Amino acid sequence: MALAETASDFNNSPISWNTIVEAHQRVRPRIHRTPVLTSESLNGLAGALLFFKCENLQKTGSFKIRGATNAILSLSEEEARRGVVTHSSGNHAAAVACAARWRGIEAFIVMPKNAPAVKCRAVEHYGGKITFCEPNVKARAGTAAKIQAETGAVMVHPYDDDRIIAGQATAAKELLEEVPDLHAVLAPVSGGGLLSGTCLGAKGTRGNVRVYGCEPERADDAYRSLTSGKLQALETSDTIADGLRASLAPRTFAILKKHVDGILLVSEEEIVATMRLVWERMKIVIEPSSAVAVAPLLRSSGRTEIGMGGVSQPKIGIILSGGNVELKV
Amino acid sequence: MALAETASDFNNSPISWNTIVEAHQRVRPRIHRTPVLTSESLNGLAGALLFFKCENLQKTGSFKIRGATNAILSLSEEEARRGVVTHSSGNHAAAVACAARWRGIEAFIVMPKNAPAVKCRAVEHYGGKITFCEPNVKARAGTAAKIQAETGAVMVHPYDDDRIIAGQATAAKELLEEVPDLHAVLAPVSGGGLLSGTCLGAKGTRGNVRVYGCEPERADDAYRSLTSGKLQALETSDTIADGLRASLAPRTFAILKKHVDGILLVSEEEIVATMRLVWERMKIVIEPSSAVAVAPLLRSSGRTEIGMGGVSQPKIGIILSGGNVELKV
């Protein structure tokens, strides 16, 4: 499965390899090249060599700053003057607020009222103007559209946007540059911006790497969409993985249909246990959404589920998407 | 204040620079060269450029593996056959158990019964044999002496041992190698092994760097000892910083009297707030003892307390001693 080199290869998604390279050049001076960490302890549990791309250590605490920075630095002067608006459960919100501050423009942020306090504080820290809404997909989009109509601000959608997807692709691109011989890469999936970008960034760097999306059982729209071949909506979800409560868009669905090798589902119990295990063994803070992409590798069927049942010590990359979580002691 | 080059320079403590270099050569193949992380957010709060030596990301989750490995790899064959014994609130315990396993010998570990469960699990994970005792200095030493008499095992004291101090010195040595122009280095102090080693390792690399110890108000024996010039005991302590409940030994007191530039005290409230701040802003897990060495820099008097009141943006190194803490979500 080789990467599309021309726009016509993608339905509604003209993201060529060159687009990703340009996005990387655009965001690189602003963001961290996050470290790739390993853990002997987790290798032992997985029966594999795991390479963790630590976007939890990224600026604003998640990969979202990659896409937001690429989108906002791509705006024309006329667009930028109008400011930007978006809706997000938190990490994209903070990223847009931060990137808007870098560009010196206003950011209007719609957040569901059950977003974690730590994520709201981050948006405020970067000077974003928050409007809260009901915690469902329809309310988020509706509230953002209303603000857009009132202010003229440019919509920076959290995933239904080629500039966002190209930005998110740079995390997998960096991971494959650092560990070129990975057998597979796992990333969480919600709206599909990170997973689409991971497919393009990983397979663009190394054509035959497998890419899997990981999703909570309680928010399994990507699994159902890919299995049925028809885009399935997720009206609402109460998974602990607060970053994964959105649904695929036609744009991300089209990329995943073509490029993703499968979707792995995990239970709430697996998410919590895995998050605690990574905190305890690796001493890094990851949020529940990040744990979703680690959990499948810790069950006995894990290697088989990603087609590595017969491979001794396969090399697996994992995108740790973010670290914005409330911790108690 | 230059580093002693010969044994006679130290009262009871023949730790020359060459001893530290040899310790580093001995432990380097076994341990991580831990990263030095920075945080724009914490720099802003401190009005300084902070360089965090992340021993929380070290093997066994703390700097203690440096000293334990140096001591245990230094044993003669005859000594090693008898096994090792120690007492520790946790991190030295896990480190001795791990280093003993590397050498293939037995480790008997005395732990206070209020040691955190996460630290007990670590000792068991490395195959150490735990004996619990009352949580005070006398019970710890007494129980270890009894086991030593019964088994013939060699005592690997957590800090009253030149091999341990020389091993701990390698953390500051690495930090100064990576950031040579630091104005000051801060480390937590309990029995004084890390702080003594930090004085020797830092000032041995760069003679005019200042070194400060940081201590909970509730376990202020080092502060009282250095202030009065007489070794003061700490019978018991209930500080949340479970790694800092021991007292200086004559050996570490002698080194600190000669080399340390001061002791800074912090409240329990400062420890907890700082620990949470580091988790939230840096996305790394630190235990309360680590937070003790960050907290003084976050108060308005912080720079003045370390003699940097008139320096704009001084460069400060901090030894984050460990990351073994129970986290909840």
DSSP B179-239: STT-SEEEEE-SSSHHHHHHHHHHHHHSTT-EEEEEEEGGG-HHHHHHHHSS---------
User: In the annotation, is A39 catalytic?
Assistant: no
Contact A110, A141 (CB under 8 A): no
Looking at residue A218, its pLDDT comes to 94
Q: In chain A, how long is the greatest CA-to-CA distance?
A: 58
- Confidence band, pLDDT 50/70/90 cuts, at residue B8: very low
Closest CA to B190 of B270, B290, B259: B290
Looking at residue B42, its pLDDT comes to 95
Instruction: Give the SS3 label for residue A243.
Output: helix
CA distance A149 to A92: 21
The domain spans of chain A are: 7-62+161-320, 64-155
Residues A327, B329: C-beta atoms closer than 8 Å: yes
- Confidence band, pLDDT 50/70/90 cuts, at residue B4: very low
Mean pLDDT of all residues in B141-155: 95
| Termini Cα distance of chain B | 47
CA distance A261 to A248: 16
Structure token pair of residue B49: 């450029």
User: In the annotation, is A88 catalytic?
Assistant: no
Residues B279, A285: C-beta atoms closer than 8 Å: yes
Q: Which CATH number fits domain B7-59+164-320: 1.10.3720.10, 3.40.50.620, 3.40.50.1360, 3.40.50.1100?
A: 3.40.50.1100
- Find residue B36's DSSP bridge partners: B53
Q: Does A241 touch chain B (CB under 8 A)?
A: no
Residues A329, B326: C-beta atoms closer than 8 Å: yes
Count of alpha carbons within 13 angstroms of residue A136, beta-carbon side: 7
Catalytic position from the list B64, B119, B203, B315:
B64
Residue whose structure tokens are 């103007």: A129
- Find residue A111's DSSP bridge partners: A132
Using alpha carbons, list the distances in angstroms from residue B208 to B23, B202, B303.
23, 9, 17
Q: Do the domains at B7-59+164-320 and B64-155 have one common CATH topology? A: yes
Please give the DSSP secondary-structure letter assigned to residue A98.
H
Looking at residue A111, its pLDDT comes to 94
CA of A327 vs chain B CAs: smallest distance (Å) = 5
Provide the 10 A C-beta neighbour count for residue B117: 9
Count of alpha carbons within 13 angstroms of residue A74, beta-carbon side: 24
Identify residue B92 by its one-letter amino acid code.
H
Pairing of strands B184-188, B107-112: unpaired
Please give the DSSP secondary-structure letter assigned to residue B7.
G
For residue A328, what is the nearest residue in chain B, using CA coordinates? B328
Instruction: Give the SS3 label for residue A210.
Output: strand
Fold of B64-155: Rossmann fold (3.40.50)
- In percent, the amount of chain B with pLDDT more than 70 equals 96
Contacts of A272 in chain B (CB under 8 A): 329
Contacts of B327 in chain A (CB under 8 A): 276, 279-280, 327-329
Q: Which CATH number fits domain A7-62+161-320: 3.20.20.70, 3.40.50.1100, 2.40.30.20, 3.30.450.20?
A: 3.40.50.1100
One digit per residue, the tens of pLDDT, for chain A of length 329 reads 344 443 334 334 579 999 999 999 999 999 999 989 999 899 999 999 999 999 999 999 999 999 999 999 999 999 999 999 999 878 999 999 999 999 999 999 999 898 888 889 889 999 999 999 998 878 988 999 999 999 999 999 999 999 999 999 999 999 999 999 999 999 999 999 999 999 999 999 998 999 999 999 999 999 999 999 999 988 777 899 988 988 999 999 999 999 999 999 999 999 999 999 999 999 999 999 999 999 999 999 999 999 999 999 999 999 999 999 988 76
List of residues 6+ apart from B226 with CB closer than 8 A: B256, B257, B260, B262, B263
Catalytic position from the list B16, B62, B89, B321:
B89
Instruction: Write out residues 51-90 of B within 8 Å (CB-CB) of A.
Output: 56-57, 61
How many Cβ pairs within 8 Å bridge chains A and B? 55
CA distance A22 to A204: 14
Q: Does B328 touch chain A (CB under 8 A)?
A: yes
Using alpha carbons, list the distances in angstroms from residue B252 to A80, A204, B93, B277, B295.
61, 57, 19, 31, 23
Identify residue B315 by its one-letter amino acid code.
K
Looking at residue B13, its pLDDT comes to 52
Cβ contacts of B8-11, under 8 Å, gap ≥ 24: B10/B254, B10/B255, B10/B258, B11/B254, B11/B258
Closest CA to A73 of A119, A28, A26: A26
Looking at residue B12, its pLDDT comes to 45
A184-188, B111-115, B170-174: which range is least confident on average? B111-115
Identify residue A319 by its one-letter amino acid code.
I
- In percent, the amount of chain B with pLDDT more than 90 equals 84
Phi, psi of A226 (to 5 degrees): -70, -35
pLDDT at B91 over 90: yes
Structure token pair of residue A61: 């605490």
Would you say how long chain B is, in residues? 329
Contacts of B56 in chain A (CB under 8 A): 283
Count of alpha carbons within 13 angstroms of residue A243, beta-carbon side: 36
- Confidence band, pLDDT 50/70/90 cuts, at residue B117: confident
Instruction: Give the SS3 label for residue A301.
Output: coil
Residues A326, B326: C-beta atoms closer than 8 Å: no
Using alpha carbons, list the distances in angstroms from residue A29 to A23, A33, A170, A179, A182.
11, 10, 13, 22, 26
